[in-house]
Amino acid sequence: MTNTLIVGAGSAGCVLAARLSADPARSVRVFEAGPTFPTRGELPVELLDPSHLPIGPESRLVWRYARNLVRGKLIGGSGAINGSYFIRPPAVDFTAWSAVAGARWSFDSVLPTFRDLEDDKDFGNAPGHGVGGPIPISRTSHFARFSAEFARRCAVAGFTEIPDLNMSGANRAEGFGPVPLTVSLGSRAGPAVTHLYPAMTRPNLTVTSATTVTRLLLRGTRVIGVEWARGRERGRTYADQTVLCAGAVESAALLIRSGIGPEPLLRALGVATVRPAPVGAWCTDHPEIGVEFPCDEPDEPAVPLEYVLHIDDLELRPYTQMFTPGLRRIGVALMHPESTGELTLASADPSVPARIDQRYLRGERDRARLREGAALTADLLGRRIGPVDDSWLRANLGTSQHLSGTCRMGPAGDERAVVDEQGRVHGIDALTVADLSVVPVPLRRGPQAATVLLAASIADYMVV
C-alpha cells in the first residue's frame, strides 16, 4: 500500500511529490488526469516555449468550464501552460491570511520558504531573496516594443519604476516594473521541470497519467484511498494518507462527490453525507477588463507579460500577444475584489464539469475600481474608449484564471473553513488539501508563487 497518494500532478502536486519522496522510506504515488511525459526531454516544444499559451479551443491540455475558465490538465498543471509570471503576494496578504489561519502563514514565517525556493538571477543576493533554489527567476532584458512603450508611458505619467517586484515585504507598492519570470535559458520552467522531473528516477515515486480520481474511499470518517477511472478501466488504490492537489475546481468537486460538502447540495446530488462542510461556498478570482485598441505592429515572440503596473488593488497588464488580430490589449485586473463566488455541482457524475458562479461586478466598489482602471488605461495610452459604464464593463469582462478559496483554510470554529492551518480537512482523517483551493483571502498578485509556497509549506508540515 502507498504511504502518500497525491491527486493531481499540477503545480502544487509536483512540489509536494518532490519534497515528500525525498524521504526514501516514504512511497509516493501521483495520479494525473491529463498526459504526462516520462522525461523533460520528451516535453513538447510548445510547453517549453514561454511565449506560447496552449490554451486555445484546440488544446487538449486544459480542463474547461463555463465562462471561458480553463485550468491545466497535464503534468505541471497550469504552471506548465501559463505566462511564467512569478510575483509574490505582498506582505499585507499574508497578514490577512495569518489572521484567519494562524501565525505560520505570516509573511515573516513564509519568507524563509520563498528564499529556499528561489534562484533569482537578478536579485538573489538582496535581502529576502535566494540563490541556488530549484525555481529560476529572471526578468526580461530585451523587451517587446509594446512592453517598452508601456513602461515609457508609465514613467512619463509619473509612476515609479520598481526594478524588483518581489522585493522583501513589498506592500501595496504603486509603480511599474519588469515581471519576475520562471524562465531559464529561454525555456518555461514550471514546477514539473523544477521539481517533479528531477525526482522521477526515485524508486519510491510513481506518477500515473490519464487517471481521473472519481471518489474518495472512506472507512467512517477516515480516507483510505481513492476510486479512479483510466479509459474504460476502473480501479481502487489504497493509501495511508491522501493529498488533494487537483486545484480549486477539481479538489472541491472531488470532496463534494465523496460526501464532504454542503448538506443541501449533497442531498440534491443524491450523495450520502459523510461530513457537512462549506466546500465551494466561498471562492475568489481576479476579474479582468480587456481594453483593446487597433495596432498594425505584428506580434513579437515574447512572454505574455514583461511589465505590469500596480496601483493599489489594480494591476495593468500590457499583453505582448494579440488575442484578437490587429488589436493590442491591456488587461485591467482587480486584484482584491469584494465580490466572492461559489462553486457547485450539477451532477455527481465526474464527467459533468463543476459550475462556478464568479459573481463578478456584484459589488459597487469593484465596478468603480475597474471603471477607474479602464479610464486610467485610456489616459495612459492617449486614447478614447467611450463611456466606461457598467454595460461597457460587462461587455469587456474576462477572468485572470486565478480561482482560489473553494476549500478555505481556517480553524475548526470558522463556519467558512474546510481545512485547518496545515491543509488537513476538518473532521476527516488522513486527508489533506494542498493547492489554491485552501487560500482563505484574495491575493493581490497572480497565484503561481503562492501555489508553490503553499505546497512546499504543507509538505514540510507532513514530514515533521
Return the number of other C-beta atoms located less than 10 Å from residue 208's C-beta: 14
| 401 is an annotated ligand-binding site residue | no
Reduce the DSSP state of residue 415 to 3 states and report it: coil
| 448 is an annotated ligand-binding site residue | yes
φ, ψ dihedrals at 227, nearest 5°: -100, 145
Give the DSSP H or E segment for 97: helix 91-101
| 447 is an annotated ligand-binding site residue | yes
Q: Do the beta carbons of residue 343 and residue 65 sit within 8 Å?
A: no
Q: Give the separation between CA 76 and CA 192, rounded to whole angstroms.
A: 5
Reduce the DSSP state of residue 39 to 3 states and report it: coil
Reduce the DSSP state of residue 18 to 3 states and report it: helix
For residue 8, which of 80, 66, 87 has the smallest C-alpha distance?
Answer: 80
Q: Give the separation between CA 317 and CA 105, rounded to whole angstroms.
A: 28
Strand partners of residue 323: none
Give the DSSP H or E segment for 243: strand 233-244
**Residues written for the chain:** 464
Return the number of other C-beta atoms located less than 10 Å from residue 416's C-beta: 13
Q: Which of 129, 336, 402, 426 is catalytic?
A: 402
φ, ψ dihedrals at 284, nearest 5°: -145, 160
For residue 254, which of 410, 437, 36 has the smallest C-alpha distance?
Answer: 437
Q: Would you call 402 a catalytic residue per the annotation?
A: yes
Q: Nine-digit cell at 294?
A: 487597433
- DSSP annotation of 194: I
Q: 429 exposed, middle or buried (CB, 10 Å; 0-12, 13-18, 19+)? A: middle
Cα-atom radius of gyration of the chain, to the nearest Å? 21
- Residue list for the binding site for FAD: 213, 447-448
- Residue list for the binding site: 213, 447-448
Active centre residues (catalytic): 402
